Amino acid sequence: MTIQWFPGHMAKARRQVQEKLKLIDVVIELTDARIPQSSRNPMVDEMVNNKPRLLLLNKSDMADDKVTSQWIKYYAEQGIQALPVNALKDKGKQEIIQACQELMKEKHEKLRAKGIIKPRAVRALILGIPNVGKSTLINRLASKNIAKTGDKPGVTKAQQWIKVGKQLELLDTPGILWPKFEDELVGYKLAVTGAIKDELLDFQDISVFTLRYLANYYPDKLIERYKLDEIPEDIVKLFDDIGTKRGCLMSGGLVDYDKTAEIILRDVRSNKLGHLSFERPNEK
Ligand code: G4P
């Protein structure tokens, strides 16, 4: 895959996130539940440093529930609290508020010890790679409670805080980081889930990865969707079988691989094969 990332853009994104980090108590890192590791930027660890962090596995409605549970456990073992969420629905809102409170408990207790009886609301930033659902989640949590601040003389940058209940305030603009995919496999996973613009992709290439992954972890779903008798070893034969079943034929009866690849990716992204995850903890 030929995708280029420009160091200038990266440095700017990093600076912008660092500016936002100064304003908040808790980082809410959003990832795609179907590929929780690949949809993170490893640099977050270093940037966030000691700030408490909540990891949200968004689009959990599209992911394989069993695998999502494995991820939650995996992160818990590393001392990272993770929650599955669906930004299109209210599911998870109370849990997010509660988790942010928990993460600030220690700090609040210190404030109480100092005699500050009523600590202010927890301030949080939603952070993640493009297309992971940051804006959707912010809008969902906002429910019109946008508090305007910062538009006074002498305050250079207008920052808006969104009130989520009484105890949580979110910065209205998310922190955006680029995904990291020097690793080809990470690039494929981001592509399958639609995190990379389609114009940049070689559909055949991505669908070969997708079919191999499905044949390995979800053979029954593959057989059911494309009414296959079995899954052949040879990936070209698998393409031929699916293309033939779906009527993707060119003149002369040859299978149109571009069209077949497009159908496979469209089906996967619209959950036609059911809920799928494309990454597992400790996967080789
Ligand atoms: P971003 O700010 O992080 O860039 O992401 P954004 O909120 O714009 O969301 C990207 C796409 O993901 C949107 O689809 C949005 O509806 C979808 N999305 C966000 N959260 C969820 C979720 O929990 N479940 C599901 N199923 N979808 C979610 P879109 O506008 O149709 O864009 P696209 O899919 O055509 O790129």
Task: Express each pLDDT in 247-281 by its tens digit.
Answer: 999 988 899 999 999 999 999 999 999 999 999 99
130 CB within 6 A, ligand 1: yes
What is the distance between the alpha carbons of residues 251 and 50, in angstroms, rounded to a whole number?
Answer: 62
Does pLDDT of 197 surpass 60?
Answer: yes
196 CB within 6 A, ligand 1: no
Predicted confidence at residue 6, as pLDDT, reads: 67
Predicted confidence at residue 120, as pLDDT, reads: 80
Spell out where 139-278 has E strands.
146-148, 160-164, 168-171, 175-176
Q: Give backbone dihedrals phi and psi of 6, rounded to 5 degrees, phi first.
A: -100, 125
Residue 14 counted as domain residue: yes
Residue 194 counted as domain residue: no
Does pLDDT of 65 surpass 80?
Answer: yes
Going by alpha carbons, the residue nearest to atom 12 of ligand 1 is: 133
> Residue 123 maps to which CATH number?
3.40.50.300
Domain range for 77 is 7-171
The total of structural domains in the chain comes to 2
Residues 224, 230, 235: CA angle, nearest 5 degrees: 100
> Residue 226 maps to which CATH number?
1.10.1580.10
173 CB within 6 A, ligand 1: no
CA of 129 to the centre of ligand 1 (A): 12
* Co-location of 163 and 206 in the same domain: no
